[in-house]
Structure 1
Amino acid sequence: MHDDRALVEARLKRVLDERIRPAIYPESVPLEISVWHAPGEPVPVAEGLAATPGPIAVGDPWGPPWSTSWFTVTGTVPREWSGKIVEAILDLGFDPGKVGFQCEGLVYRPDGTPVKSLNPRTPWVRIGSPAGGGEEVRLHIEAASNPVILDYHPFLPTQLGDKETAGSDPLYRLGRMELAVFDKTVWELVMDLEVLGELMLELPADSGRRLEILRAVNRALDAVDLQDVGGSAEAARAELTGVLSSPAVPSAHRVTAVGHAHIDSAWLWPLRETVRKVARTASNMTALLEDEPDFVFAMSQAQQWAWIKEHRPEVWAKVTKAVAAGRFVPTGGMWVESDTNMPGSEAMARQFVHGKRFFIDEFGVDNEEVWLPDTFGFAAGLPQIIKAAGAKRLLTQKISWSQTNTFPHHTFLWEGIDGTRVFTHFPPVDTYNCSMTGRELAHAARNFKDKGVARHSLAPTGYGDGGGGTTREMVAKAARVRDLEGSPRVEWNTPDHFFAAAEAEYPNPPVWVGELYLELHRATLTSQAKTKQGNRRSEALLREAELWAATAAVRAGAEYPYQALDRIWKTVLLHQFHDILPGSSIAWVHREARRTYELVAEELNAIIDGAQRALAGDAAGDASRGTLVFNGAPHARAGVPAGGAAPAATGAGTEARSREGGGYVLADDRLQVEIDGRGLVVSAVDRSSGRETVPQGRPANLLQLHPDFPNKWDAWDVDEFYRNTGTDLTDADEVRLDGDAVVVRRSFGDSSVTQRLTLVQGRLEIETEVDWHEREKFLKLAFPLDVRADRYASESQFGHVYRATHTNTSWEAAKFEACNHRFVHLEEPGWGVALVNDSTYGHDVTRDVDETGTTTTLRASLLRAPRFPDPETDQGVHRFRHALVPGATIGDAVREGWFINQPERRVPGGAEVAPLVRVDDDAVVVSAVKLADDGSGDVVVRFHESTGGRAATTLRAGFPVAEVVTTDLLERPTGEPQRPGDAIPVTLRPFELVTLRIKRA
């Protein structure tokens, strides 16, 4: 027989599309349909079920953007269908090509019991298997008219991303609404042909196995009677039995399929819609588990589990039953699948604290794996946090999206900044929405980079977001390739089972040291500035609220606000989800986030105020009785409430005078700064060393504006070519002296900026207010520095990471936009400079060499103006604070970064309050002082070494100590209790993180 794969492929496709798939449902009758359109936001299930519906018909429009409609469908199973499998086909107007990004539904019985969800690839509901004939059918559908925001090509601005601008025109037309006979034999034939056809396409052209399959497929198609598919389906299947029963070779790649539905906790829909997406998917998966005994489903993000428990108890009952059976598996151990670049040290720790504790409390499950398939790169401090949370494994997928360099491993040990290593796996299937196609499985086997020493990978399998999870078709395909010649072997199992097997077969994997940088989505470090500011300020307020509340509890017997702090932490952690904090969600999400951060700040300030007043006692508010001061520095004796005089006021001791040639000079005993008539910094001399910070002819405090139109993913991406064109904003509308500050005003395009430059104890503080009305532009704040540095330090969780300033390799060149927390530090031996900030994350560092030597330019990223998915991204007024610190060591950078983020706070009245804890080494940073979460009253202190060196310190408790024990992040003991008194000796390795639990005497 002539070997023409293309002809067989064409024949197979047409017969499947036009004859066999339509024959899956050979008989049907229409259902009666009615509808009630809920006014406004979604209503409780009971209200939707009780509403009085009106008429609607197939083909009628329904669903304004973001609305909810409750459909009721009724009908009777024909008596002649007795003994047959009957299903309801309920098509809300689906587009099968946009799985997860359109209308969705959840089906209920009249008593409110959830049945399953309706999605583009799962529009069916089983009625009888077999049916008796004559059954009355009544189903209710809670249907969400979620608009299609993402169409990929092109990324067009849309007003659909906020209910306030989306309009009221219906988006969908009701599709097929019928009862139908389900011909299982025909469906099985479809699965046989799809699996074999897909496998055939992936085998080599000269493969004997391919020819075997080709001939078998041709015979099966010959056996199909195109006028009686159902009657001939069994005979057609018989022609495929031989090729489907041929086992895989012993060396075949092994795939652990894990049922999965990657559900973004917010993205192209608001948080309230994610609550419903999760309920729909969980209903779908519990139903599938009942039908498929080999299937296993895993769900991450404790927040999403909590939503089901709180909002959909009828779904929660089914989920908990499936969890108890070991088949609906909690995984990941984080509150949400957060961004890991921007969350601060303590917030990143709390993602694990709250996530793991939820799964432990609800199910007794203590996960050892971290599940982050879609996060946009991984900070180098994360391995230590993972270990400190009692986990040891990481799974992600997103690094496969990198545009420049291909990561060299799929299974490896990832080593963080402190030396901690975690066993890490990147699924070579290169998707977290695997659908069990032959192409995907063949790609996993070919792509796996650890061949020869390992042969095991994981495939997260199922449609994400609103796609409903794993389908019965995926399960059927997995069954056929469980042991099939030419294909990887596939089995359903849990993430824990996969990792145990992978570790056993690969005891000495390669090691990757440092951050896992994603060479894509770099602009997420800048988009939606107010969301990022809300996060940073919430983190600072949470640290301060815990510290004040703990101090008040210990010193004054005040009630510690356990429940309030727990709830607020979970709110902040939710908003660190990898499409909220990165700024890549629709306008509705960020509008709500801004309001949420305002409420968080109000509540935390109230907690702080209450604790202060408890400490001040009867003298609260009486300025004559002294002032209770909080200084935000987290190390040495600072970082704890203290009495006495406040530090010098901003600008105190600063000399401000006119500069020859125009402009002004600001000087104190540490620093002299010259600002020219354009408002640019042309000199910054560190007086202790006489060292000039700013290179000749290269002014600092230079705002630069670039065009910003990436090739794809507007809110997510900035492409390197943006640097090819730019404008230095040097024209000033006004430069004037205001007391001891220099004020600079500029205007450009449709925007304006006002800066206020002051000296504060040896640092140049720059407050920048931008009234931003540009479109598709990128605003940077540049600081050329007279420093020759091959590398620089950026603060990360519990330490800092070094990156090269040069571009020797493509790996270094790809990091043209990177993340920092509170500081970036550059140095030559003996002298350095830091730039600290109160709310920005993105930056870039470049170097230049000319006849005068090497200079290094650091630029903070301030604002962008992408138009998708939020066409009004960042329009309006923004305020930023930066400080340039010449002569700074890395320790100075740490300290100054804390000062600019943790402002001084004071309340009149009261005697001095001794700090709860003190440390006597400035390299040791205390990130948290709080009471233990279990309500015991124990004091928990978390700290780390911050400079990258060794530290030996004494932690002194300001209260009687009965016992001290080291713990993990969940405050569970990891060492033996000690009784050292109130002076606790501590030694720390570079960047080591330690948590102590101190029992009060």
Structure 2
Amino acid sequence: MKFEDLTVHVIPHSHLDLSWGGGYWLCRLASMDVMLRLLNCLKSDPEYKYTIEHVYAIRRFAEHASGSEVDELIEAIRDGRVDVSGLYHGTEENLPGPENLARQFLLGKGWLKRRFGIDTKIAWSMDTPGHTLQMPQLLKKSGIEFYVISCGCAGPRLFRWASPDGSEVLTYTIGAYNLSHFLGLRSSIDEMKKKIPWYLERIRDLINVKASILDDGGDWSKPDLETLNNIRRWNEAGNKPALKISTTTEFYEAVKGDAGGAPLLKGEMPTTWVYTPTHYPNVAVWNRRAEYSLRAAEIMETLRMILYGDGLYPKSEFTRCWEQICRVMEHNWGGRDGEIVGMEREHACRAAYHVGRDILRSAIEHIASLIEPKSKGLAIHVFNPTGSLGYGYAEENIDVRMYGEEFKGHIYLTDSDGNPVPFDLIERIENEDGSLRGFRIGFVAKEIPPYGFRTYYVRDSDVEVDVPSALEAFEDSIENEYYRVKVDGCRVSEILDKVHGRNLVGDGFFELKAFSDRTIDLKDNIGEVLGEEEEGEFRIKRGKAKSKIIIESSILNSHVRKEITLYESLRIIDLSLAIDWRGPKYCQLRVNLPFRFNGKYLYEVPFGRVRFPDKIDYWAPYGVPLRYDAEQIERFRWPNIESLKGLREVQNWIEMREDNYGILLCTDSSTYDFRGCLQHVPLRTVYSCGDPLLFYNRRGSYRWSYRIITGVDINPELEGILFMTPLETVFSWRRDLCRARRKTPKLPHEYSFIRIEDESIIITALKRAEDDDGIVLRAYNASDEERTVNIKMNIPFRRVYEANLLEEPMEEIPSGRDGVRLRFKKWEIKTLRIIT
């Protein structure tokens, strides 16, 4: 392309990191300063234009600025002089869970539209290191038409990016950001004359339309009229190509006519910052726990609200918690005051998790007060806040005072059909005088209805009732009808799938190894071995419902505790790893997971899955030569991109699939290396982006959990959700919880409020609508085939609409008396607005 025919759109923009340059409050003050400077620039020059990269900045500005200042900004947006990206902030797209990612649009564009009536059509994501598979569909279903990124694609500048369902969004990649600083737009015409032609020549083959973006903005850089003045000087001198100050919308209008000729790219753009979660290991784990805690709480509290008909719903608490955990997933991990920011992030996630737990407990206790047990004995109601038949190990305290003076001395447990159920007597609970107060028991609950409950019964007996169990424990092994786990010393020597007759693991399974790692938080460059897990001791804890092998050892002066657990009649193996880390600097810890299989890896991403290795010819990080010279690249030890292609951020599971067999590994942590044998990377003690003063020490206590499931027909999405969402139990409920109990319906001892016939359809949200009119249900099709399904709803409703991600009704869906029939395209995400 001749540069004489090219128009370069200079787009001034914000890049207001939520942390990195300091703690959250310092960065918020810097953000306020940028916004006030923007207002001054807009007043000083009527031709000045700007793009605000995220709605978060406007939300904070609206909180702290004067009413007149907020009005000035909103007026500039409505006049088209200022653009706003529809995203809440610059999230690290590959890391958050599906609802965490979806709420970015509700908290971003949704808030902007509800508060100010502004319906933005553009989104920016500068400096975010990767872009997840389903992002085009999420953008499309939020009304976003144009997406600007800075890394992830080394192909043509303008392209159509498609999700697996076929949704497309026109995307432009700048290849870096803060280009105006490096090309002299805030300096002088002489510098611009030297650098702009050089830059354009280097990307000549990538420019595929007659317009290009040159961005003007970096970390907390302030709007500067000198950029506009230099554009004028450049054009007045007759230099080519022509420069034009623009908003993102103006650039989109200039290129959207060429969209049909833009190449179509599909697939995930994996993050090149795959190691960043290892800097704050507790943050990544607690963020995931918090998301699933909030999802379960929203579901059960919504059902409680419908049953009681009281309209009470803790919307402000939920909103605050979602804001907290969404903010934590912003792409900056580390930086100045990184230790402080890390503690803030962990506290925010833990707080959101516990708020979710509190609301969930209240909801299920209220629902339990409506259940009419059908059998004698004391009822234990087991609740399942997921969309599939639930199972798991449940624990509950049994208060024998409820039997009165007639307690016979022993208890046994039955299911709702009267069949005895094996249980573990975990603890005998006594009063202060030593008399018996009760027991804490644990048992395996199975086939708990989706979004519902099942009742078990505790009965007393004057003799001990012996219930047989298939769970066995020996001197060096435990086994049930599905698996045998054996240890040799403190090493796992065998995990046998008894059904298929195969040992699942190789040598060194579940063992720790530490490597020298003197690189930055981006690069993969493992050095010599610093330490291996030392021999320790193991013991076996026997039970009728649960048995476990406990291994205690050490590595680099750090105490390690590992547990491997089997359950009576469950086809799962649970593993946990706890470490009190006291290791050195410049170290990377890895967990070896050498499974024996000969097939392909699949791993979960938000609302989807990716096969590894996947063909990603266009994948790349920043346009490194455009941003750093050779000396800087050597100082920063820039990532070896080929090596990073073996590392991925995953969601709840990794599946190892052969033709007629699968091994599923569920996980609550994100960073995995797929090269050679599978390895989990839980933590690193390196420094931040090349600055030895920004160091991650990471001393402290950590815990990670895993689950192994094998078989032919495994549904990994549902198993991953069940892994992250434990069953809940209610024993001696309080009947005074609801003063209007007589007006509420009685519930049977076993019930499902919502059920989907096809297990390929995964529900991720059931909540009250943001405008309080009805409820919202979100689900997606986790298969490569179109599905037509019935969603059965045992709740009263009047109408059902398909909605967008902002929860705005779009089209009414015909519905029957007890549900609705829907057609899902492959990997399609649907949001329903249900008017109750």
Match of 1:151 in 2: none
- State the alpha-carbon separation in 2 of the partners of residues 997 and 646 from structure 1: 38
Q: Does 1:896 align with 2:712?
A: no
Query: Aligned residue for 1:718?
Result: 523
Task: Write the deviation string for residues 885-913 of structure 1: whole angstroms up to 9, x where unpaired.
Answer: 2336451x223322221111122246547
Give the length in aligned residue pairs.
Answer: 712
SS at match of 2:160: strand
What's the CA shift for 1:770?
Answer: 0.5
**Aligned counterparts, 1:5-20, within 5 A:** none
Query: Which SS does the other structure have where 2:70 is aligned?
Result: helix
Q: Secondary structure at the match of 1:359?
A: helix
Contact 2:324 2:349 in 1 (8 A): no
Match of 1:844 in 2: 673
For residues 335 and 720 of structure 2, what CA distance do their matches in structure 1 show?
A: 23
Quick check: 1:258–1:495 contact (8 Å CA) kept in 2? yes
Q: Given the superposition, is the C-alpha separation of residues 593 and 249 from structure 1 closer, same or farther in structure 2, using an over 3 Å criterion?
A: closer
Confirm or deny that 1:426 pairs with 2:173.
yes
Q: Which of 855, 862, 887 is equivalent to 2:682?
A: 862
C-alpha deviation, 1:639, in angstroms: 4.7
CA distance in 2, matches of 1:259, 1:807: 31
- Give the distance between the partners of 1:646 and 1:757, measured in 2 at CA: 29
Within the candidate set 666, 678, 681, 2:478 is matched to: 666
8 Å CA contact retained: 1:253, 1:445: no
Counterpart of 1:460, as a letter, is D
Structure 2 counterpart of 1:657, from 452, 474, 479: 474
Partners of 2:70 and 2:248 lie apart in 1 by 22
Residues 336-351 of structure 1: pairs in structure 2 closer than 5 A: 336-351=89-104
> What are structure 2's unaligned runs of at least 5 residues?
186-190, 390-447, 459-467, 620-639, 734-746
> CA contact under 8 A between 1:628 and 1:909: conserved in structure 2?
no
CA distance in 2, matches of 1:827, 1:902: 24
TM-score, length basis structure 1: 0.67
Secondary structure of the structure 2 residue equivalent to 1:572: helix
2:816 to 980, 985, 988: 980
Counterpart AA for 1:968 = N
Does the aligned pair in 2 maintain the 1:770–1:877 contact within 8 Å?
yes
CA distance in 2 between partners of 1:299 and 1:624 (Å): 62
**1:313–1:635 CA distance, 2 compared to 1 (3 A):** farther
Task: Give the residue type in structure 2 aligned to 1:834.
Answer: L
8 Å CA contact 1:335–1:570 kept in 2: the answer is no
* Counterpart secondary structure, 1:481: helix
Residue identity opposite 1:607 in structure 2: I
3-state SS in 1 of match to 2:810: coil
**Equivalence map 1:753-772=2 (5 Å):** 753-760=560-567, 761-772=570-581
Map residues 2-81 of structure 1 onto 2, 5 A cutoff.
none
2:10 counterpart of 1:257: yes
**In the alignment, is the contact (CA less than 8 A) between 1:964 and 1:977 conserved in 2?**
yes
Q: Which moved more, 1:495-504 or 1:591-600?
A: 591-600
CA RMSD, aligned part only?
3.0
The answer to which of 919-928 and 501-510 deviates more is 501-510
Q: Secondary structure at the match of 1:896?
A: helix
**Residue 878 of structure 1, CA deviation:** 0.4
Aligned to 2:407: none
What letter matches 1:863 in structure 2?
L
- Give 1:927's aligned amino acid: T
Change (3 A) 1:961 1:506: closer
CA contact (8 A) 2:514 2:532 kept: yes
Counterparts in 2 of 1:985 and 1:862: CA distance versus 1, 3 Å = same
Distance 1:249 1:846 in 2: 44
- CA 730–472 in structure 1, closer or farther in 2 if over 3 Å, else same: closer
Shift of 1:536: 0.6
Q: Who is 1:470 aligned against?
A: 223
Determine the structure 2 residue equivalent to 1:877.
Answer: 701
- Per-residue CA shift, 1:798-832, capped at 9, x if unaligned? 12111219999998754121110100111110011
Structure 1 residue 632 displacement after superposition: 4.5
User: Over residues 331-350 of structure 1, what are the superposed CA-to-partner deviations in whole Å (9 max), with x where a residue is unaligned?
Assistant: 22111111101110111111
Q: Does 1:783 align with 2:593?
A: yes
Structure 2 distance, partners of 1:590, 1:778, is 18
Alpha carbons 1:336, 1:351 under 8 Å: kept = yes
Residue 325 of structure 1: aligned partner: 79
Matching of residues 345-364 of structure 1 within 5 Å: 345-364=98-117
Separation (CA, whole Å) in 2 of partners of 1:286 and 1:506: 34
Shift of 1:453: 4.3
Take 2:834 and 2:332, find their aligned partners in 1: how far apart are those partners? 38
Partner of 2:790: 954
2:517 is matched with 708
Q: Secondary structure at the match of 1:268?
A: coil
TM alignment of 1:176-187, pairs within 5 A: none
Partner Cα separation in structure 2 for residue 786 and residue 691 of structure 1: 9
Q: The residue matched to 2:120 in structure 1 has which SS? A: coil
Match of residue 854 from structure 1? none
Aligned to 1:551, what secondary structure does the other structure show?
helix
DSSP-derived class of the 1:961 partner: coil
Superposed counterparts of 1:303-702, under 5 Å: 303-313=56-66, 315-329=69-83, 331-399=84-152, 407-427=154-174, 431=178, 434=181, 436=185, 438=192, 441-448=196-203, 453-465=208-220, 467=221, 469-482=222-235, 485-518=238-271, 520-558=272-310, 559-580=312-333, 586-617=338-369, 626-635=379-388, 638-645=449-456, 653-658=470-475, 664-678=476-490, 680-695=491-506, 698-702=507-511
User: Normalising by structure 2, what TM-score?
Assistant: 0.80
In structure 1, what residue type is equivalent to 2:815? R
**In the aligned structure 2, how far is the partner of 1:473 from the partner of 1:424?**
29
Residues 440, 567 of structure 1: alpha-carbon distance in 2 compared, 3 angstrom cutoff: farther
| Separation in 1, partners of 2:351, 2:177 | 40
Residue 444 of structure 1 and its aligned partner are, at CA, apart by: 4.6
- Cα distance in 2 for residues equivalent to 1:259 and 1:806: 35
Corresponding residue number in structure 1 for 2:603: 794
String of CA shifts for 1:574-621, please: whole Å, max 9, x gaps: 1211114x8997111111222222322332222222222322338999
Offset of residue 673 of structure 1: 2.1
Q: CA deviation at 1:768?
A: 0.7
SS where residue 76 of structure 2 aligns? helix
From the superposition, tell whether residues 477 and 994 of structure 1 become closer, same or farther in structure 2 (CA, over 3 Å): same
Secondary structure, aligned partner of 1:818 = strand
Letter paired with 1:310: E
Give the secondary structure class of the aligned counterpart of 1:500.
helix
Structure 1 residues 673 and 895 mapped into 2: Cα distance closer, same or farther (>3 Å)?
A: farther
Displacement after TM superposition at 1:484 (Å): 5.0
1:823 aligns with 2:653: yes
| 3-state DSSP of counterpart to 1:824 | strand
SS in 2 for 1:701: coil
Give secondary structure in 2 for the equivalent of 1:942: strand
Higher strand share: 2
Q: Which amino acid aligns with 1:729?
A: E
**532, 545, 552: which one aligns with 1:729:** 532
Cα distance, 1:566 vs structure 2: 1.7
> Once the 2 structures are TM-superposed, how far is the Cα of residue 966 of structure 1 from its aligned partner?
1.1
Counterpart in 1 of 2:729? 906
Instruction: Indicate which of 727, 735, 749 corresponds to 2:556.
Output: 749
Query: Is the 1:265–1:304 contact (alpha carbons within 8 Å) kept by the matching residues of 2?
Result: no
Structure number, greater radius of gyration: 1
Q: Which has the higher contact order (CA 8 A, sep 6+)?
A: 2
Cα distance per residue 1:266-294 (max 9 Å; x no partner): 11311111221111111111111111221
2: distance between equivalents of 1:731 and 1:499?
59
Q: 2:43 and 2:380 mapped to 1: Cα distance? A: 65
SS in 1 for 2:152: helix
User: Residue 250 of structure 1: CA displacement?
Assistant: 7.5
Give the unaligned 5+ runs of structure 1: 1-247, 401-406, 659-663, 848-856
C-alpha spacing 1:741/1:363, structure 2 compared with 1 (3 Å): same
Gap change, CA 1:894 and 1:706, over 3 Å in 2: same
